[in-house]
Structure 1
Amino acid sequence: MTHPPAIRRRVDPRVERAARTILTGQRPRLLRQPVAAATSERRRDPRAIRDAALVQRQPRPRYDWTRDAACVGIAPMMGATIAAAPAIPLKVIPEPAYLILAMLDRPSGEVSEHDRQVIAAARLLADAGGGAVVTVSTGSGDALAEAGSDRHVALPDGWADDYVPERRAAAASALMAALSPRHILFPDSPDGADVARRVAAATEERLFAGVQSLGPDRATRQSAGGSLETGHRPTRLMTVAADAFNPLDGVRHEARPLDLAAPLTAAEELLPRLGGARRLAVDPDALSLSETDFILSAGNGVTDWQSFAELGEALGATRAGSRVVCDAGHLPRERQVGASGTVVSARCYLAFGIAGAPQHLQGITGVRHVIAVNTDLHAEMIKRADLSIVADAQAVMPALIRLIRERRHA
């Protein structure tokens, strides 16, 4: 059985050409597609769209383009529906099979990246068999819910004012007796490692320090300068190396508060009373660039070195510089930041007059926040920075010094 041939409408190329012509004359202009038929849709007002998305006007305008545009009548004109941002799912573990304790540093009340990495390592052990992660630190657990905390034990607020390792070690020992956790993880930081070793000595438990990979059956760390890897079955006490685990993202946990004030108070009463325990002031310039959290760096655009030194003292920042500055002798060679100097991972990097050579940008790859001051709007350091100030460094440095002194006087 044969089918009749399909009837195709003849296409007139002259009609199509006329429909695509938008400019006549000696050199006509043609569109790639024919002009669509006119519709009754109202023209969009870009100013109304921008005003609807504005969420902050000062100091820098911020816009949220995911906001519902129906309030200005945009959705019918665009012919599409703007979906709301998906909510972060909440994961609840009502009756955990066991507990994993995460003793956090939380310096100055802020959850550090190292603390989040400790919680992520604890989640590897908890998720392997239906366990739950219990975080222990000063402050509430609201900021720890998205980091992976199922339960939270809040230490007294006064413990954050000064560092008393005996107090935190006694708290960890008391929580071990009250909760019977399967594992206790500490950050492998100067403070966290100190507390971990005190707990290990008090409880006579074995400590496996500097964990870089972790599973329910095996924990490993590097040794011999990184040339060897040492493995062991996870012990009850472990310290987690920095930057060894990625913090959690996309899941929110319960972070339910646990009231364990009684055992914490009992443990504190057994401690000897210490008078005047406080941290000793440290010269920021005596710290290594690889260890400091706040770096004030200078480039070829800095000429007022007296103001640069005063600003570093006022901010309490460690001074550093680019290769050009160190070659000129303004700063010692060990203060050079970059691929040929020191690769830094500070929390804040304040750069004055640095253009941003590739070698220098490689040295600040691990920096969390970069603030750049430069007269060139198109400098690579300006592109890398989270906050940019397009101005002369010689004018900004004295202004910052005056502002800091006024705040301290107030």
Structure 2
Amino acid sequence: MSGVLVMMEQRNGAWNRMSFEALAAGQQLAEHLGTECSAVVVGRNSGSLSQELASKKLKKVYAIDHELLASYTADGYLAALEQFVKQEAPDYVLFPHTYRVRDFAPALATRFSQVLISDVITIRYGSGSTGSPMFVRQLLQGKLNADYRHTSQGPCFVSVQAGTFRSDAVQEGTASVETFTPQLLPDQIRSKPGEPFRESSQSVDLSSAPLIVSVGRGIGEQDSLSLVEELAQALGAELAASRPICDNGWLPMERQVGSSGQTVSPKLYVAVGISGAIQHLVGMKGSKAVLAINKDENAPIFEIADYGVVGDLFEIVPELTKAVLAAKG
């Protein structure tokens, strides 16, 4: 096969939204390498999902189907994907960086004497003899970026961070579907599937909000939240927060954005007093435009912001609220 292979994650016949972000990354990687991208779905009776992928720009869609894959287990996915990757021999295998992938993908990479380059935030491309892709991931809560290049002969395994690539960038096309049946035995599955993880119900759905004003620890104290609330009201935006605000009980947990909160993709995301720790960026990097207000000019949030204001939020936010209200007349 060679080329790029993207593993699409599904649960009970429904896609994990991050799968299409990984697919966009895979298509772009294949385009830069001058090769083709394929996709694979693991499960039981996933024909309808495979047919949905057949409308994307892919060389081929593979459905790994077996009765022992009806419910997710790390053992089952590991054994099935190991057999499949050995048969097809892709150059690159991309995954969405989900809890499930973190469960089995490191072991899968080890089976090929490789490592999983996890939680990648961007892919850079060189030219000439050093033209192989450079995978970038963050360290020390986003304070440092580290570059990784695959240099060995085996397949390169990569997981892509949520929000890094846009799912709406997936290219349409036509692809054929092929079924792969792995050789699995019941005694290979050492664990029994438990109750699936379920997120708590939320009365606030930030994922559908077109405008969001989000506040971080830079606000200093709970009494100062009214400044940001007034800006949100003036804009007609939902109010959100980083984890420290919700951990302190200043806002309910359902308004938290980040890896342990909600993932959002508004037309405009206003980050007020948010430094930009990796856990928060995971939840909001899909925003169409980001306006960051922070007194620290070196804050990581500015690296992804479309517009940045360096200064005291207690001076800037009230003036911004006045300007919005004045514009509305």
**TM-score of the aligned structures, taking structure 2 as reference length:** 0.55
**Contact 2:134/2:148 (CA < 8 Å) preserved in 1?**
yes
Residues 208 and 131 of structure 1: CA distance in aligned 2, closer, same or farther (over 3 Å)? same
2:203 paired with 1:296: yes
1:275-312 CA-to-partner distances (Å, cap 9, x unmatched) read: 7x222365755xxxxxxxx52349xxxxxxxxxxxxxx
**Contact 1:120/1:148 (CA < 8 Å) preserved in 2?**
no
Residues 176 and 284 of structure 1: CA distance in aligned 2, closer, same or farther (over 3 Å)? closer
The equivalent of 2:4 in structure 1 is: 100
The equivalent of 2:63 in structure 1 is: 154
Per chain length, whose mean CA-contact separation is higher, i.e. which structure has more relative contact order (CA < 8 Å, sep 6+)? 2
Alignment of 1:4-403 (within 5 A): 98-137=2-41, 138=43, 139-140=46-47, 141-156=50-65, 158=67, 161-214=70-123, 215=125, 216-234=132-150, 236-249=156-169, 251-261=171-181, 264=182, 266=183, 268-269=184-185, 272-274=188-190, 277-280=192-195, 284-285=199-200, 294-297=201-204, 333=250, 335-338=252-255, 342=257, 344-345=261-262
RMSD: 3.8
What letter is aligned with 1:149?
L
Structure 1 runs, 4 residues or longer, greater than 6 Å off? 363-368
Residues 133 and 248 of structure 1: CA distance in aligned 2, closer, same or farther (over 3 Å)? farther
Residues 212 and 161 of structure 1: CA distance in aligned 2, closer, same or farther (over 3 Å)? same
**TM-score of the aligned structures, taking structure 1 as reference length:** 0.45
1:200-253 CA-to-partner distances (Å, cap 9, x unmatched) read: 222221221111112442111111111111001147111111111112547422
**Contact 2:59/2:176 (CA < 8 Å) preserved in 1?**
yes
Residues 121 and 281 of structure 1: CA distance in aligned 2, closer, same or farther (over 3 Å)? closer
**Contact 1:146/1:249 (CA < 8 Å) preserved in 2?**
no
Distance 1:118 1:366 in 2: 14
1:362-395 CA-to-partner distances (Å, cap 9, x unmatched) read: x998899xxxxxxxxxxxxxxxxxxxxxxxxxxx
Residues 251 and 159 of structure 1: CA distance in aligned 2, closer, same or farther (over 3 Å)? same
Equivalenced residues, count: 218
Distance 1:283 1:257 in 2: 31
Secondary structure of the structure 2 residue equivalent to 1:210: strand
- State, as a whole percentage, how many aligned pairs show the same letter: 16
Residues 365 and 179 of structure 1: CA distance in aligned 2, closer, same or farther (over 3 Å)? closer
